[in-house]
Structure 1
Amino acid sequence: MPLLELRKVSLGYARTAVLEQVSIHLDEGEIVTLVGANGAGKSTIAKTVSGIVRPLSGDVLLDGKSVAGMTAAQRLRLGVAHVPEGRQIFSGMSVSENLMLGAHSLAATDQTALQERMEFVFRLFPVLKPRLSDIAGNFSGGQQQMLAIARGLMSKPRLLVLDEPSLGVAPLLVAEIFELIKKLRDQGISILLAEQNARQALSIADRGYVLENGAISISGLAATLAESPDIAERYLGVGTGASVSSERSDRMAARLTIAIS
């Protein structure tokens, strides 16, 4: 039984569908990535899974049980944590305050569990521990993204929904963030990754779904998708387009040679 399943879900805003009849699933211990152009609907799916957006039709299931009618807070208590696009940390608050907001359900019930979770986060993000009193808004984009992921992990999620974690992050830190995502999967956290950086996303994912024209156009093993010439040309910046351009240049050069001679 999948940990997460969307069954023929139509998604959108104000009764206007953005995506039609979307069906995806994610098994325990997997990284599943959603790739596609900007505006393809990746973030809408991520918000639907976490309960921020309600589906127009269809069903969302967690452990085989419908959660379509549940709020984001209720889903959080079931182990679904969402790290939103653009990080959305509380920039005027300290690092410690941001982390505590992520752990509010633990803080009210079990101080020992809260401390254990803090130590877990510090092992993943050692840069945060000496800066607990620093104002989060003074951090770089990459550091803020790390704080946002750490805040999401404070609730001890089974399923972590990551929306565009590489957005606005310096290239040197992007690779570090994706390595961290792999490490989280290896520690038993299942991950739904919505990401425009298809190359990086497919390199760490187990499976992937490609979104185009309001629907899922292709799905399969991430390694297979990464090797597809069609996917490579459209989303990885390589593929047949380069050879077509080269052939056109060669033909033009031949015509010019004939004309000159």
Structure 2
Amino acid sequence: MAGHSKWANIQHRKAAVDAKRGKAFAKVSREIMVAVKEGGSDPNFNFSLRSAIERAKEINFPKEKIKSSIKAALSSEANSFEKALYEAYAPGGVGILIEIMTDNKNRAAAEVRTVLNKKGGSLASSGAVSYLFKKCGMIKIFKKINEEKILEMLIDSGIEDYLKVENFQDETIVTVPLSLTSEANEALKKQTGSETTTRIIFDPENLIANREKQNSIIELLEQLEDLDDVNCVWTNLDIDEEVLTL
């Protein structure tokens, strides 16, 4: 899944296909293992693990495989996966953040660089792109609810700070400050009566339009996400609404 909500919506429609061919399953298993290594095996005290488990359930990753991924992470013989964030530019100065989870950073960097070069992009130095994004919490509600109603629910729960609300088909995406993610998620889950999932995302401060290169940039983003070591991709590309309905 990708971080910017429009892009995330496009990628969500691909999740079922990815799951069928095993790629999404392999990535979510790795995400669970990295989360356990970083914060322990109890999802009640490890937001990253709880988020990874929610994502796993969303793509129908079997419960037994969730348990085995957690168990594998606790084993002394487990692969030593590391998480890193690469920064890059697509054509036209469009920013890209690429989260990798890998057991070989040299291989991951080489594969990312190859995809970028083929599509006219390039790796950027640390901090050159990340300042264009804000680290936030994203809550996905599996029903369509308008912004006014979401705001009312949050205020009733004592939460007055949120960033934006967007609707895609039968889902609602609520972006909140990172520190309020768990609290806002519990409030919205309770008041909507709907299942939710949460993610830590990098939300763009401003969007960059590039109509001429849009399709090519989307192909670049898809090819990056298709790499085995890439877990998430975020972009500040302003995507046409028509693309969301394709």
State the TM bucket, normalised to the shorter chain: under 0.3
Report the TM-score when normalising by structure 2: 0.24
Report the TM-score when normalising by structure 1: 0.23
Bigger Cα Rg: 1
